[in-house]
């Protein structure tokens, strides 16, 4: 039961109302008997929100769209992998010091772990999520990737950021369709705009990955016979690593899938 000792964890972002993080983390707090609650806050001013975390002694945060990069300047330290990626999605409040981590890349790594990545790969988007996916491909041993982004300058910034670590080739929209693996990291679907790509132009042997859980794009791809993977696994594994950072507990992955998808 919630009482004066109950610890608070939260996710902040905008929009936030579709987040499944409260459902998953609250289920895990209950399963492991931790006196804590996890809430979602739609935030307009990230600086004020971070000050609130310190002021109220909130124990941990997830950070999502559009604050994953901007939030960094308000933290006390950043874990080394997150520093390379340039964005964070998890914060631990350690006796008043806010430490930033990126667990998105760990979630995406799990998604591509068993996939043959010795293929032409194109990433759509150049935000924080894109950087996390690029870093996961780098960890998988991929040496070069193609990037398409609506705003060329943002893709160029990402290319400079990764430097020699992994070669990023900036491509035009029409060249997306030449790739064997296409990864959508844009917020186009979440924000409700039209599809980022024309599914009819994709090669039927290509693999489409969308980092959004329960992705409409992946459902539409399946309807036209294209193999797809949505972001459910990435979501669950980023939460697994965040939960471990906060509590030292490695939660039961099968239980997490049941919480999100319902019992199988
Ligand atoms: P995140 O942290 O989730 O990556 P972000 O940093 O806001 O979020 O990045 C969102 C990405 O989605 C960007 O690459 C953005 O393109 P721009 O760099 O041109 O802004 C991309 N994006 C968002 N909405 C889009 C849309 N409707 N069509 C194409 N790209 C879109």
Instruction: Please give the tally of structural domains in the chain.
Output: 2
The stretches in the chain having pLDDT less than 50 are none
Cβ count within 10 A of residue 92: 17
Residue 160 sits in the same domain as residue 213: yes
CB of 179 shorter than 6 A to ligand 1: no
| Atom 11, ligand 1: residue with shortest CA distance | 186
Q: Is 195 in the pocket of ligand 1 (CB under 6 A)?
A: no
The pLDDT value given to residue 91? 98
Asked if residue 1 is part of any domain, the answer here is no
- Rounded to 10 deg, the angle between the 21-31 and 232-247 helix axes is 50
Residues 55-109 have pLDDT tens digits of: 999 999 999 988 999 999 999 999 999 999 999 999 999 999 999 999 999 999 9
Q: How close is the Cα of 259 to the center of ligand 1, in Å?
A: 29
* Distance, CA of 12 to CA of 25 (rounded, Å): 14
Q: Do 94 and 124 sit in the same domain of this protein?
A: no
The gap between the terminal CA atoms of the chain, to the nearest Å, is: 29
Q: What is the CATH number of the domain that holds 43?
A: 3.40.50.10860
Regarding whether 112 and 214 lie in a shared domain, the answer is yes
Residue 116 maps to which CATH number?
Answer: 3.40.50.720
Same domain as 125, residue 83: no
> Is residue 59 located within the same domain as residue 170?
no
For residue 187, the CA-to-ligand 1 centroid distance in Å is 5
Does residue 62 sit within a domain? Answer: yes
C-beta of 88 in contact with ligand 1 (< 6 A): no
Strand partners, 13: 42
Q: Residue 197 belongs to what domain range?
A: 106-230
Query: Tokens at residue 68, please?
Result: 């994953």
| Whether 185 contacts 124, CB under 8 Å | yes
């Amino acid at each position: 039961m919630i009482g004066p000792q109950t610890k608070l964890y939260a996710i902040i972002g905008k929009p936030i109302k579709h987040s499944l993080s409260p459902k998953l983390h609250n289920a895990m707090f209950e399963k492991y008997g931790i006196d804590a609650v996890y809430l979602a806050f739609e935030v307009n001013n990230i600086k004020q929100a971070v000050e609130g975390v310190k002021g109220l002694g909130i124990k941990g945060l997830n950070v999502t769209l559009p604050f994953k990069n901007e939030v960094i300047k308000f933290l006390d330290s950043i874990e080394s992998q997150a520093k390379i990626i340039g964005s964070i999605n998890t914060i631990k409040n350690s006796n008043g010091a806010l430490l930033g981590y990126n667990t998105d890349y760990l979630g995406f790594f799990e998604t591509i772990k068993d996939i043959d990545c010795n293929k032409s790969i194109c990433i759509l988007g150049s935000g924080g999520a894109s950087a996390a996916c690029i870093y996961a491909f780098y960890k998988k041993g991929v040496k070069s990737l193609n990037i398409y982004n609506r705003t060329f300058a943002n893709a160029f910034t990402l290319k400079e950021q990764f430097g020699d670590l992994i070669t990023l080739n900036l491509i035009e929209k029409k060249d997306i369709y030449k790739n064997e693996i296409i990864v959508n990291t844009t917020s186009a679907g979440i924000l409700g705009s039209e599809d980022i790509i024309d599914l009819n132009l994709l090669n039927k042997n290509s693999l489409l990955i969308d980092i959004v859980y329960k992705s409409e794009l992946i459902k539409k791809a399946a309807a036209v016979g294209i193999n797809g993977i949505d972001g459910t696994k990435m979501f669950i594994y980023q939460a697994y690593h965040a939960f471990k950072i906060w509590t030292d507990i490695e939660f039961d992955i099968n239980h997490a899938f049941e919480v999100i998808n319902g019992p199988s």
